Amino acid sequence: MSSAVPAVSGTPAPGAAGDPTGRPGPGARRPRRSRRGRETTSGWLFLAPMLVILGLFLVVPVLMALWVSVSDWNGRGSPFAGDVSFVGVDNYRSLLLGGGLATQDFGTALRNNAYYVLLVVPAQTALALFLATLVNRKALRGRGIFRTAFYFPSVTSSVAITVLWLFLFSASGTVNAILARLSITGPNWFNEPRGVLHLLLAQVGVDTAPAALAQHGFLGIPLWEWAAGPSVAMTAFILLAIFTTSGTFMLLFLAALQAVSAEVEEAALVDGANARQRFFRVTLPMLKPTVFTVVTLGLIGTWQVFDQIYTGTQGGPAKTTLTPAYLSYTAAFQNNDWGRGAAIAFILFAIIVLMTVLQRVVLRERTTIPRRKRFHPEGPR
């Protein structure tokens, strides 16, 4: 392809000479090649504005941040000035292996966010799919209203909805008032740092750490703390995320459901599949690409959770809603530890890429259907 480019630029200016087909040359292939070359050129031309914008506002800042993450820049003046020096992986090492407060904070943030992802992604995907199948039914009256209603939280500003949540889940808020009607004393949601799993374990009498879990740790915090589960405060954020995002993903599922042709459904019906089988063995496999999209978007979004934390709790109570994204922000902007802030961001990036690759492997298209998933276990006859 690239060899075609000089050929194009070598041709006289447009309008000056005839078109290339009229010229004597090395045969009939030449014009096709130069035409493709011109297409390449125009392709690049059309891409150019986007490349410039992406380069300027994405690639260059990312590279700058990468430099900051391996430098000792202290936030004053240019990170490329002479007095800023290269410190190798020091920032990464103090985060991951230092064992000090930086490591503990990062470990806590990772734990909090891991539970958040673990609960939000499956729940929002399942709920979105459920809502989509509901509003996809032709028999449902006022489908439009339901579609709008379910989608509505997604178009509301996340700050506004977080503030709403703070009111709903305050100690004397609506949620606790409803729980009180049911004779349940609700927790002080956003001020309750105890982990849900710890609370459940306390119910069965395990309220102190077994020695094995207390003594061993990872990223500066003991395994017993890793096993705390999301705090009650984080649980409120988890509910918030499920509530706001399932509408968005419902839309994706709805579009995919509408693309599933009625014939397929009908064929399954004729084959004697019941409703449950039709959904899990026929419809769901056809939605696989959409499931992949939704889970990917969900993973990325949940690992990056920031605005709810920033407006809601700022990491409290007792750091149980601290997330890597928020930690990166405070490390850089509030503590002027820019190298650490950038390093956190890059580790977060690595985690997201890893997760996405992992789930791509899990959800990849298989050429054969596993036996247990076959409608006809013996295979097609």
Partner 1 sequence: MRTIPTRRRRPAPALGATALGAAGLLALTACGGSGFDEGGDTSSDGGSSGSLSVLIGSSGDAETDAVTAAVAAWSEESGVEATVQVASDLTQELSQGFASGDPADVFYVSADQFQTYASNGSLYPYGADLDAADDFYPSLVDQFTYDGELVCAPKDFSTLGLIINTSAWEAAGLTEADVPTTWEQLTDVAGRLTTDGQVGLGISGEYARVGAFLAQAGGTMTDAAGTEATVDSPENVEGLTYVQQLLASGSAAYAADLGTGWGGEAFGTGAAAMTIEGNWITGAMENDYPDVAYQVAELPAGPAGQGTLQFTNCWGVAADSSAQSDAVDLVQHLTAADQQLAFADAFGVMPSVQSAADGWKEMYPEMTAFIDSAAFAQNVVNARGAADVITDFNAQLEGLKTGDPAAILGSVQTNLQAVLDENAS
How near is the Cβ of 335 to partner 1 at its closest, in Å? 6
Residue 135 phi, psi dihedral angles, 5° rounding: -80, -5
Query: Which residues, numbered 215-254, are part of the site for partner 1 (CB under 8 A)?
Result: none
Quick note: the x/- pattern for partner 1 over 103-142, rule CB under 8 A, is -xx-------------------------------------
If binding is defined by CB under 8 A, does position 19 make contact with partner 1?
Answer: yes
* Site map (CB under 8 A) of partner 1, residues 188-217, x = contact: x--x-x------------------------
Site for partner 1 (CB under 8 A): which residue of 52, 149, 177, 206? 52
- Please identify, among the stretches 34-42, 143-151, 153-161, 245-253, the one whose residues bind partner 1 according to the rule CB under 8 A: 34-42
Question: Which residue lies nearer to partner 1 by CB, 41 or 296?
Answer: 41
Cβ 243 to partner 1 shortest distance, Å: 23
> Footprint of partner 1 on residues 300-319 (CB under 8 A)?
315-319
When the beta carbons of 41 and 154 are compared against partner 1, the nearer one is: 41
Cβ distance to partner 1 smaller for residue 188 or 304: 188
Q: Per CB under 8 A, does 51 bind partner 1? A: yes
Question: Is 218 or 333 the residue whose CB approaches partner 1 more closely?
Answer: 333
Examine residue 1 and tell whether it contacts partner 1 (CB under 8 A).
no
Residues of the shown chain interacting with partner 1 in the complex, contacts defined by CB under 8 A: 5, 8-9, 11, 13-14, 19-21, 31, 35, 38-39, 41-42, 44-45, 48-49, 51-52, 55-56, 60, 64, 74-81, 100-102, 104-105, 170-172, 188, 191, 193, 315-319, 332-338
